[in-house]
Structure 1
Amino acid sequence: MTAFILVPGAHTGGWIWREVADRLRESGGQAHTVTLTGMGDDAPPAGPGTDLETHIQDVVRLIDRVDAPEVVLVGHCYGVHPALGAADRRPERVARIVYVDTAVPQGGAPALELVPDQTVRELLRQRAEKGEDDGQLPPPAPDAWQSWGSVADIPEDALAQLAERAAPQPLATLTQPLLLSGAASKLPTTGILCTANGSSIAMIEMLVRLGDPRLTALTEPWVRFFELGTGHWPMLSAPDELARVLLGAAADEGYRLSPAEQPAHLRPFLLDVPERPRERVGRVDLYLPDADGPRPAVVFVHGGPVPADMRPTPRDWPSFLGYGQYVANSGAVGVTVDHRLHDLADYERAAQDVAEAIELVRADPRVDEDRVALWFFSGGSLMSADWLATPPPWLRCLAATYPVLAPLPNWGFAGSRFRPATAVRTAGRLPIVVTRVGLEMAEIAVTVEEFLTSAADCGADVEVVDVPNSHHGFETIDYTDEARHAVEHAVRSVLGHLRG
């Protein structure tokens, strides 16, 4: 008999698991919900010393009481931290750890690092740095739960109950580092990804292909994944499906990631482009054409976040080498820039890096300062919002390839200015070239459609270059005539606007 221990996320108690627990019991398993200290119901009230270790011990005590040889620990959002801490104390009792729509915590890091609401995260970080980790964090306002994750598919009565029963979160549970001995590092694990909240297996596979060493553990043979087509609280929006997936996880079912033999972004560019020399100035590389007099320029802005220690950096990736050389061979100055988008909280800094790179390029006497195009890729495309909102007269074209054109729900960007799907409404007649891949990840594809709908509503000048049978990052993945023609088409369009 499988015994599940269900650990709730921030501001919630064991009550949130009620429907899932009932279905697990109906299937013949045990299901034990836990309300952590200070989080309501019959749990002890929070005191001055209530911290993450308090919540870890809450889970440990429940493990010790459960009459089963092994348990499956299930943690939702913040709840993964006390679940993982408890597994580290009782590894011999834990058959599997299940992460419900949350990233894997890093040992030594506090839970605040994974808080989705970036405003709250920064506030907590500042308080922790000052040693102000007492007190409590109020729950979101009834209409602000979206800032903590997608509320897609939650029935109105369940959403009302979520707001009504939410409890303040003791600050130290979020600011105290998660200390692990490593005893649970090789326990079987399952990640349940909620696609309406911006997570998917395809997204995880893309990040693994980037070669980020922090994600290597996700390809271990004891790691599995499931997807649910719902928002961040599947225990409220899809309890039947979540219970089914939990039973599958306990049976060692699920999708396994394969290690990438070669990171996809380091494969050759899909076009055979003659090499050209480049000049490097700080974070900026310039590819210069064979021409006299100032020439128009195309500034390529890579995606991300990209880990700070990743080598080579994006401007040395074959795709950006290829684009820069291709544009230079076509008579314009190709420009690549290594901006510092290393984390979701870095968009402000990265946008400043891009703005400074543009100033440097426009000041170069070999560049026609009045004829510049900006070309954004993937997650870097959110930075296009600044230029769409108030296009300067020298900006002759803005391009975006397999772009993210609105923040994903789990990025916590409530109130952020980095929303191209909104900014396009004031773009006027600025020419925009969007390269859309047909095999895009669903959570990204929906942001492109949101952008195009908004652009159509305001009459923006948008050209869409469709690549129906290609993937995100197709320039080093899909070596097809369709993909090659798409790159050639997009470059012709951008250069045409520069010359027109």
Structure 2
Amino acid sequence: MTEFILVPGTFTGAHVWEELTACLASSGAGVHTAALTGLGGSRGAATDDVDLETHIEDVLTLIDSVSAEVGRDQEIVLVGHDYGVHPVLGAADRRAERIGRIVCLDTGPGQDGVPALAAVADPSAREKVVERAGAEGADQVLAAPARDEWQHWGSIAGIPEASLDRLTALASPQPLRTLLQPLRLTGEVASVPVTGVLCNGNGSSIEMVQRRVDLGDPVFLALADPQVSFFELPTGHWPMLSLPAELAEVLLRAAAGEGHRLVPPGSAEQPAHLRPFLLDVPELPHERTGNVDLYLPEAEGPRPAVVFVHGGPVPAGVRPTPRDWPALKGYARYAAAEGAVGVTLDHRLHDMADYPRAAADVAAAVELVRADPRVDPDRIALWFLSGGGLLAADWLREPPAWLCCLAASYPALVPVPGWGPVDSRFRPVDAVAGAGALPVVITRVGRESPELAATVEEFLVASEKCGANVEVVDVPNGRHAFETLDPTEESREAVHHAMRSVLGHVSA
């Protein structure tokens, strides 16, 4: 029999676990919920000196109590939701020999020296903490969210109305020190197996994590360890309220050592971004200037240009850089073979906070291209891919006269919950109201992750309301990055269709 210790997240207490506890107990598991000092159902002021260390001690006390009750050899699985993973990790670091597994419930594994605040994705929520601490000191508390404010702390998708009412009614103020005190680890916790339960509705997926591993992101590389497994749930940030039975099944499977393992870099399987482009395109010459490559057509005279903007974030040290990835090169060569100048570039979107810097890189690259005498400066198209889709906002909001078309393939068109802080400027769903008659070509894949698919649908609804000129090219069986993952006739025709549309607009 497995003994589960459930540790709640920000503003919450044992009450969030009630349905899950019943589901786990019915399977024969032992279930214990941690009561964190200063939290747990009262809206009264929390104790002034409560910090992360206080909550680590709370979890340690519970671990020792459970061990004394069931025996020190009984496996304990620690489950931390949201902020709760930080006291879980701190306690497991000091009782590693008693912990069979750690489950990070829709939250990343904390790191030594990093406070819990760093894991809060919504920038407005982070700012509230910093402003409150700066104005009145870290010994204060952060007020619990009102009913319409929970989305700032994670997606509320799937939570029944009655459960959201109860979550709000029983929420407690969060002591600021718990979010601001750095987590301190000795390294002992590294020996404990870990399972991540990712909630798609909150912007995370196994596929997304695998892509970060493939790119060599040092923060994610450790997640490809055989001791780390993953599950997904199709819901928001509070699965214990939205899918308690399904979450119970996942936790039982995690305790049994099941789950998806990531493929480490250097394995036999080639990463998706380095697989061949799905079309045979000619090896036309290209020129490199700084961070920009121009693929030149054989046609004479100033030619229209299509600028391809890669997605991200992409870690700074990735080699080859995006402009040398097969898909980007394939698109640029295809455009050049059809008589346009194909352009690729590397921009500095290395982190979610880098969108302004990446936008400046794209703007500079466009000006460099327009200044080239082989390019017709009044016939330019911009084509954004994946997470680069958010960069389209600037061009949609106030399209310059020379921009003849804007395209986007499997894009993010709204910042996804859980991605981290993104400047509010980068919301194509809002910017499209200024697009006017600018032709927009969206390539939509049918097997997209739910969190990204939702941003495309939101954009299309906004486009229809404002009368924007949007064409959708569908790839029903295509996945994100289908140009290298799904080399089917359906995929090839979609690429042909999108390219014909874009070139038709810049050549008109």
**What TM-score do the two structures reach when normalised by structure 2?**
0.90
**Residue 124 of structure 1: how far off its partner (Å):** 5.2
SS of the equivalent of 2:85 reads helix
**Residue 347 of structure 1: how far off its partner (Å):** 2.0
| Equivalent position to 1:281, from 289, 311, 315 | 289
| Equivalent position to 1:429, from 426, 437, 445 | 437
| Equivalent position to 1:243, from 223, 244, 248 | 248
Q: Is the 8 A contact 1:35 1:41 kept in 2?
A: no
In the TM superposition, what whole-angstrom CA distance separates every residue of 1:358-403 from its partner, at most 9, and x where no partner exists?
Answer: 2332233332221111100001101212222222211100001111
**Residue 213 of structure 1: how far off its partner (Å):** 4.2
Counterpart residue identity of residue 434, structure 2: T
Q: How does 1:372-387 map to 2 (within 5 A)?
A: 372-387=380-395
2:9 maps to 9
**Residue 415 of structure 1: how far off its partner (Å):** 8.7
1:492 maps to 500
Which stretch of structure 1 is more off in the superposition, 454-463 or 389-398? Answer: 454-463
Structure 1: gaps (5+ residues): none
Matches of 1:343 and 1:414, distance apart in 2: 9
Matches of 1:131 and 1:266, distance apart in 2: 51
SS of the equivalent of 1:409 reads coil
Q: Is the 8 A contact 1:37 1:45 kept in 2?
A: no
Q: How does 1:124-273 map to 2 (within 5 A)?
A: 133-259=138-264, 260=267, 261-273=269-281
| Equivalent position to 2:126, from 94, 108, 121 | 121
1:298 maps to 306
Matches of 1:122 and 1:305, distance apart in 2: 22
Counterpart residue identity of residue 185, structure 1: A
Which stretch of structure 1 is more off in the superposition, 471-480 or 33-42? Answer: 33-42
Q: Is the 8 A contact 1:269 1:322 kept in 2?
A: yes
**Residue 94 of structure 1: how far off its partner (Å):** 0.4
Matches of 1:119 and 1:414, distance apart in 2: 10
In the TM superposition, what whole-angstrom CA distance separates every residue of 1:309-329 from its partner, at most 9, and x where no partner exists?
Answer: 222221121211222222223
Q: Is the 8 A contact 2:306 2:342 kept in 1?
A: yes
**Residue 251 of structure 1: how far off its partner (Å):** 2.2
SS of the equivalent of 1:269 reads coil
**Residue 49 of structure 1: how far off its partner (Å):** 4.2
SS of the equivalent of 1:272 reads coil
Structure 2: gaps (5+ residues): none
Q: Is the 8 A contact 2:410 2:480 kept in 1?
A: yes
Over the aligned positions, Cα root-mean-square deviation in angstroms equals 2.7
1:466 has 2:474 as partner: yes
Which stretch of structure 1 is more off in the superposition, 367-376 or 454-463? Answer: 454-463
Matches of 2:445 and 2:106, distance apart in 1: 26
1:88 maps to 93
SS of the equivalent of 2:413 reads coil
In the TM superposition, what whole-angstrom CA distance separates every residue of 1:118-145 from its partner, at most 9, and x where no partner exists?
Answer: 2333565799999964433333333121
Counterpart residue identity of residue 239, structure 2: P
Which stretch of structure 1 is more off in the superposition, 88-97 or 60-69? Answer: 60-69
Q: Is the 8 A contact 1:35 1:43 kept in 2?
A: no
1:364 has 2:372 as partner: yes
Matches of 1:280 and 1:210, distance apart in 2: 23
Which stretch of structure 1 is more off in the superposition, 213-222 or 233-242? Answer: 213-222
Change in 2 beyond 3 A, CA 1:130/1:93:
farther
SS of the equivalent of 1:178 reads coil
Q: How does 1:301-316 map to 2 (within 5 A)?
A: 301-316=309-324
Which stretch of structure 1 is more off in the superposition, 21-30 or 94-103? Answer: 21-30
1:27 maps to 27
SS of the equivalent of 1:99 reads strand
**What TM-score do the two structures reach when normalised by structure 1?**
0.92
Counterpart residue identity of residue 429, structure 1: A
1:341 has 2:349 as partner: yes
Matches of 1:36 and 1:51, distance apart in 2: 10
Counterpart residue identity of residue 454, structure 1: A
2:61 maps to 61
Matches of 1:480 and 1:409, distance apart in 2: 32
In the TM superposition, what whole-angstrom CA distance separates every residue of 1:423-468 from its partner, at most 9, and x where no partner exists?
Answer: 3233222111111222222222222222223323433222222222
Change in 2 beyond 3 A, CA 1:269/1:127:
farther
Change in 2 beyond 3 A, CA 1:128/1:185:
farther
Matches of 1:127 and 1:44, distance apart in 2: 17
Counterpart residue identity of residue 201, structure 2: A
Matches of 1:131 and 1:480, distance apart in 2: 60
How many pairs are equivalent? Answer: 500
Which stretch of structure 1 is more off in the superposition, 429-438 or 50-59? Answer: 50-59
Matches of 2:446 and 2:436, distance apart in 1: 27
Matches of 1:355 and 1:53, distance apart in 2: 47
Counterpart residue identity of residue 358, structure 1: V
Matches of 1:309 and 1:80, distance apart in 2: 29
In the TM superposition, what whole-angstrom CA distance separates every residue of 1:154-176 from its partner, at most 9, and x where no partner exists?
Answer: 12222122223322322232232
Counterpart residue identity of residue 101, structure 2: R
Change in 2 beyond 3 A, CA 1:206/1:244:
same
SS of the equivalent of 1:143 reads helix
Counterpart residue identity of residue 345, structure 2: V
Matches of 1:130 and 1:351, distance apart in 2: 33
| Equivalent position to 2:361, from 350, 353, 362 | 353
Matches of 1:352 and 1:39, distance apart in 2: 44
SS of the equivalent of 2:191 reads coil
**Residue 240 of structure 1: how far off its partner (Å):** 2.3
Matches of 1:106 and 1:412, distance apart in 2: 16
1:38 has 2:38 as partner: yes
Counterpart residue identity of residue 56, structure 1: I
Matches of 2:289 and 2:144, distance apart in 1: 47
Which stretch of structure 1 is more off in the superposition, 448-457 or 100-109? Answer: 448-457
Matches of 2:33 and 2:422, distance apart in 1: 31
Change in 2 beyond 3 A, CA 1:131/1:265:
farther
Q: Is the 8 A contact 2:17 2:33 kept in 1?
A: yes
